[in-house]
Amino acid sequence: MKVSLKISIIVLLLALAGLAWTGTALASDKALKVLVLPFKINAAQDLTYIQEGILDMISSRLAWEGKVAVVERVLARQAFEQAQGKIDDKTAIELGRKAEADYVLYGSLTVIGQNISLDSKILSQVEKKPALTVHAQAESMDGVIPKINSFVEDINDKIFKRKAQPRYAEPKKEAPAASRRHPESLLIRSGDQGVFSSSAAYPKGEGFWRSPSIRVPITGLDIGDIDGDNKNEIVYSSFNKVFVGRFEDGRFRRLAQFDGYVNDRCVTLDVADINGNGLAEIFVSNRINDKASSYVLEYVNGRLAPIVKDSPWYYRVINLPSGRILVGQESTADKMFYGPVYRMDPKGNEYVPREPLSLPREKVNIFNFGVIRFAGQTSDSLVYVDKYETLHIKVLGGESLWDGDERFGGSVHYLAAPLEDGDKNMRFEDKYYYIPPRILSVDSNGDGRQEILIARAKRSGLTDFVRSLRPLQSGSVFSLSFSQMSLRENWRSPVLAGYPVDYQIKDYDNDGSPDLVIGVLIKSGESVLSKARSVVVAYSLKSLQEESNTGR
């Protein structure tokens, strides 16, 4: 596909994604059920991302709470693959019958050079009416995407009797308290700093604090005492740098900075005193040239110095009921993740594997899981998100407890498959592995019960299929509890003006009370037209819990 055509596709899909219906695919007993099959793609190029995008847009615009439910995407794809992509009216009706769907929508997209044609049809299982169809031909996606838009509007109008909602002007509202506002709405324009500065004083109050703007894309964040003075520091990473600062007297003072190699790709960061010397180490999971090349840093004589360099291990510090431990997983030139996840112990100036954790290796890697013991349980549970970003809970080494269809996580920071694994026929979800925000086990209210801390990013219409852009618009951090086969939300952060890259519940300002501290990426800066911008925000746990109790 030529650059001009690809740009047209991206721009138009972005526009259409912004118009998507905000329905839900959760059905009631009376809801009509629609099976939306992936469109067959006839093209010399790999246009899987377009196929996924069309499926996502149509599904989101048809879903109507209590009235119209869309069959889960994974089931739709299974049906499509079962038919080997050869769909006609007879096959579509049969697939719809097996899915217990009232309607089936299918179609195809054909690309020859710069010419594009699209055909689509929706068939009814419940009434004998002529099928609604759309056929469009154009020299670019400019003429095709609007046809999909009109087709879905026709379906909503003529079949489901759903009228487009008029757009009324929103009534003017009083400004919310600082603790409930987007970080960018609190931005002091005259004081933006490229990195934290000792001269910058920023708002703290009403249970909320935010840093100056940070002109690098945050990739990881943690909090710990790195200099042994019994006061915590905030540590965060960018692609090839690590920064340390401390909040004092209403100001944030930068203490140290570590500069890695130009081609470093720091993907996560953890802080903990694993070697027991009274200074918290900084574990930087880093990647160079398709394999792990990680660092372990310590604060020595006023600067960050590596005590481990070029390690073939990715590191993560996880919370267990017995305490915090360091885990590691190897990476090689031909394997993104190699071997099991091990518990790691210090040995001299190294960290060596002890025993492997009992994890399902085909589903879990070092970055996508947490371990928690829920109230009333006598054994630990494994919590993880799969490559489709759905949440799963199972007894560690045992039975499954929860397999949800709601998506969590979301990231723009990724690992690309090694060249040896980069087969052109590889499925798009296997070409890139997006590092999910961490899954924490915490006790946020001091009642002795462990909760899951996990993030969710709001996705634009392009998030799932334009892998080089991966646009995420905003997000929140959630506290969840699992009990008696149900998952319950305890509280959540306000919606952030960016997506939550990393977070911790720790005492960032050394006042004796832990807070929710979040590293927020507002702009990734990977485009020549966009400069990176991040921010660190902190919320009082008390204010978050009170907000949850009083309703939103």
Question: Within 106-172, where are the H helices?
Answer: 145-154
**Three-point CA angle 35, 458, 218, nearest 5°:** 140
DSSP letter assigned to residue 30: T
pLDDT of residue 397: 83
Q: Are 70 and 59 in contact (CB under 8 A)?
A: yes
Residue appearing with tokens 């799963």: 392
pLDDT of residue 53: 75
Between the two ends of the chain, the Cα-to-Cα distance in Å is 46
Question: Cα dist. 387→79, 265, 391, 399, 461 in Å?
Answer: 20, 21, 10, 20, 18
Using pLDDT thresholds of 50, 70 and 90, give the confidence band for residue 177: very low
pLDDT of residue 170: 41
pLDDT tens-place string over residues 255-289: 999 999 988 999 999 999 999 999 999 999 999 98
CA–CA dist 444, 448 (Å, integer)? 9
pLDDT tens-place string over residues 371-392: 999 988 888 999 999 988 899 9
Tell me whether strands 400-407 and 390-395 are parallel, antiparallel or unpaired: antiparallel
Q: What is the mean pLDDT of residues 248-256?
A: 84
Highest mean pLDDT (candidates 37-46, 101-110, 338-347): 338-347
Q: pTM score, two decimals?
A: 0.65
**Three-point CA angle 534, 263, 458, nearest 5°:** 35
pLDDT of residue 74: 82
Residue appearing with tokens 């915090």: 324
Of 30-34, 114-118, 273-277, 402-406, the range with the lowest mean pLDDT is 114-118
**Three-point CA angle 472, 473, 478, nearest 5°:** 90
Q: Compute the mean pLDDT over every residue in the chain, rounded to the nearest whole number.
A: 80
pLDDT of residue 34: 94
Q: Helix (H, G, I), strand (E, B), or coil: what is residue 143?
A: helix
CA–CA dist 501, 239 (Å, integer)? 13
Query: Has residue 363 got a pLDDT over 60?
Result: yes
pLDDT of residue 73: 82
Q: Helix (H, G, I), strand (E, B), or coil: what is residue 56?
A: helix
Residue appearing with tokens 């993740």: 337
pLDDT tens-place string over residues 302-361: 999 999 999 999 999 999 888 899 999 999 888 899 999 999 999 988 999 999 999 998
pLDDT of residue 137: 76
CA–CA dist 431, 339 (Å, integer)? 19
Query: Has residue 521 got a pLDDT over 80?
Result: yes
| φ, ψ at 243 (rounded to 5°) | -120, 145
pLDDT of residue 164: 65
Using pLDDT thresholds of 50, 70 and 90, give the confidence band for residue 503: very high
Using pLDDT thresholds of 50, 70 and 90, give the confidence band for residue 430: low
CA–CA dist 346, 348 (Å, integer)? 6
pLDDT tens-place string over residues 473-492: 688 999 999 987 889 999 99
pLDDT of residue 273: 97
pLDDT tens-place string over residues 66-88: 899 999 888 888 889 888 878 99
Query: Has residue 468 got a pLDDT over 60?
Result: no
pLDDT tens-place string over residues 187-228: 332 233 334 333 333 445 557 898 888 989 999 999 999 999
Using pLDDT thresholds of 50, 70 and 90, give the confidence band for residue 500: very high
pLDDT of residue 125: 87
pLDDT tens-place string over residues 295-312: 999 999 999 999 999 999
Residue 305 or 113, more confident: 305
The widest CA-to-CA distance across the chain, in whole angstroms, is 80
Number of H helices, E strands in the chain: 7, 34
